[in-house]
Amino acid sequence: MASRNRYGSRMREATMFMLVLLVGLLQVLEAVKVSPLIEKVSDHKDFKKLLRTRTNVLVLYTKSATSGDSHLKLLSDVAQTVKGQGTIAWVNCGDSEGRKLCKKVKVDTSSKREGAELMHYKDGTFHTEYNRPATFKSMVAFLKDPSGPPLWEENPEAKDVVHIETEKDFRKMLKKEERPVLMMFYAPWCGVCKRMQPIFQQAATETKGKYILAGMNVHPAEFDGLRQEYNVKGYPTFCYYEKGKFLYHYENYGASAKEIADWMKNPLPPQPKTPEVPWSETDSGVFHLTDESFDSFLEEHPAVLIMFYAPWCGHCKKMKPEYDEAAEMLNKGTNSPGVVAALDATVHKAVADRFKLSGFPTVKYFVNGEEKYTLPSLRSKDKIIEFLHNPQAPPPPEQSWEDKPSHVSHLGSEDFREALKKKKHALVMFYAPWCPHCKNAVPHFTTAAELFKEDRKIVYAAVDCTKGQSHELCKQEGVEGYPTFNHYNYGKFVDKYNGDRGEAGFIGFMRSLRGRDQEKVVKKKEEL
């Protein structure tokens, strides 16, 4: 009987102990509000399995169950936002199993002031210690792109720029702010924005207290309405406001910090651009066609040479006087072999679209209303007249770089960003087909691409800046001359390549990047 009572007493004590332990654990979990999306790990095998099965893991190591309270509360919100894109795990180095794990991965939380440390693991290995601000926005941005650059507001030198996150905050600032505001609408990937940011933040520091210089990333789709309201068609776009009202755009993209500060003292609207001089139709023998007159003109004239042009095109401007003189000379003769005409493709788009024009000027020869030849080399007065007197098929065009088989990825505005996101290292050559320096670089760049064709993390890519909408893309990426070479990491601009443009330069650059990658992997493996 006595033994039975002792057994019952022990059972009650054990039950009470378990209840106390469970209540204590629930209180701890409630105190830190740990999200079920945060993976609690203590066993080393489970930890290794986690790294094998997840590619993007941020691990919080804490000195005890409660020393990481503030981090866990924040990370619970972060985990919800990055669900499906990244994983957050927690290791309590204070319990017996966790202590063993922390020792194996060489993490010492006792030396940390807050008793907590954040480490990031990528593709199964250690990537980096998280040392960016412990804020929701920074952590979410990091987990969505662990190799990407920090947010602009994380730069200590940008502390005097007012960083706006939401449209609500933007409207609130305009409503309350009495001082003039210069707002920089930007996109994180924009090359021109990156060049302007240090200048803009310096101007913000110089004018602090007098004016507000603010920045806002409006690239996400949620800001479509805001972009439309302030005519944001490219990045960056600068808008000037006084007492909440938009007054002007600021368009000096080559300004210094002092020039921005001086402009804020005396803000003026952008100076009107020098208008394009229209092609005179009265002083020229060239027939100027429209969407409406195009087909009827071809019916009336058996042999017609037509120049499709754009008013802003430099090569068109250069060709105009030659074309005018050729028309004048042909009109003097009694037996003219044909007539010359022109069509502004930026105005008369129906005809331009019909012929799928890819550049200007484009010269085409028509016989009895039907297109016969496209003549890319017909630029001078003498060649124009010679051709009309003896129309001959042009020599076959030189095969474009894009049409030649190679391991260079030819990209355009529609697939540029998506393609680069998948590559750890991309060297992109922005070029124009007519550029001599580009032509010299092409074979060397192509050879380098061939050498790295088996490496799925590397790409050598090219963008023809004269083709389609790629001209605007090239402007956004900071291309000011041809060729321009940019290095990207998972789609994010890193730096311009200014090295040797031969095979040795292009190959050596990529080998140095891969070598650094390998050194990091080896070092982290040793640490683990």
- Model pLDDT, residue 303: 95
- Model pLDDT, residue 29: 43
Q: What CA–CA distances, in Å, run from 479 to 27, 430, 475, 496?
A: 58, 7, 5, 10
- Each residue's pLDDT tens digit, 367-378: 999 999 999 888
**Whether the predicted model's global pTM rises above the 0.75 cut:** no
Tell me which residue has tokens 């378990």.
18
DSSP designation for 208: B
* Residue 48 near residue 125, CB atoms below 8 Å: no
Q: What is the mean pLDDT of residues 489-514?
A: 92
H/E stretch holding 393 reads none
Domains of the chain with bracketed CATH: 39-144 (3.40.30.10), 153-265 (3.40.30.10), 281-389 (3.40.30.10), 401-523 (3.40.30.10)
Grade residue 450 by pLDDT with cuts at 50, 70 and 90. Answer: very high
Tell me which residue has tokens 């309590």.
92
420 pLDDT more than 80: yes
Grade residue 517 by pLDDT with cuts at 50, 70 and 90. Answer: confident
Instruction: Output 242 or 251, whichever has higher pLDDT.
Output: 242
Grade residue 470 by pLDDT with cuts at 50, 70 and 90. Answer: confident
Contacts of the segment 27-36: beta carbons below 8 A, 24+ positions apart: 28/65, 28/66, 31/66, 31/69, 32/65, 32/66, 32/68, 32/69, 32/72, 32/73, 33/72, 33/73, 33/76, 34/72, 34/76, 34/90, 35/75, 35/76, 35/77, 35/79, 35/80
Phi/psi of residue 39, nearest 5 degrees: -80, 120
505 pLDDT more than 80: yes
Q: What CA–CA distances, in Å, run from 208 to 200, 253, 369, 503?
A: 12, 21, 67, 49
Grade residue 467 by pLDDT with cuts at 50, 70 and 90. Answer: confident
Q: What is the mean pLDDT of residues 170-176?
A: 94
Give the start-end residues of each E strand in 160-236.
Answer: 162-164, 181-186, 212-217
Least confident of 106-120, 165-179, 224-238: 106-120
Grade residue 23 by pLDDT with cuts at 50, 70 and 90. Answer: very low
Catalytic residues: 190, 193, 313, 316
Least confident of 66-75, 267-276, 316-325: 267-276
Q: What tokens appear for 466 in the block?
A: 């004269």
Percent of the chain with pLDDT over 90: 48
Q: What is the mean pLDDT of residues 473-486?
A: 89
The whole-angstrom separation of Cα 104 and Cα 120 is: 16
- Model pLDDT, residue 273: 57
Contacts of the segment 347-351: beta carbons below 8 A, 24+ positions apart: 347/290, 348/289, 348/290, 348/291, 348/294, 349/291, 350/291, 351/289, 351/291, 351/294
Closest to 476 measured CA to CA, from 185, 191, 187: 191
Alpha carbons within 13 A on the beta-carbon side of 90: 29
* Residue 135 near residue 174, CB atoms below 8 Å: no
Q: Return the SS3 of 432.
A: coil
| SS3 assignment for 456-483 | CCEEEEEEECCCCCHHHHHHHCCCCCCC
Could you tell me the end-to-end alpha-carbon distance of the chain, in angstroms, rounded to an integer?
A: 57
Q: Mean of the per-residue pLDDT values for the chain? A: 86
Q: Which residues pair with 198 in a beta bridge?
A: none
Tell me which residue has tokens 């010492």.
108
H/E stretch holding 18 reads helix 2-32
Tell me which residue has tokens 């795990």.
89
Grade residue 25 by pLDDT with cuts at 50, 70 and 90. Answer: very low
89 pLDDT more than 80: yes
Q: What is the mean pLDDT of residues 52-63?
A: 92
- Each residue's pLDDT tens digit, 178-236: 999 999 999 887 777 888 899 999 999 999 999 999 999 998 888 999 999 998 877 88
- Model pLDDT, residue 16: 60
324 pLDDT more than 70: yes
- Model pLDDT, residue 353: 79
26 pLDDT more than 50: no
Instruction: Output 266 or 350, whichever has higher pLDDT.
Output: 266
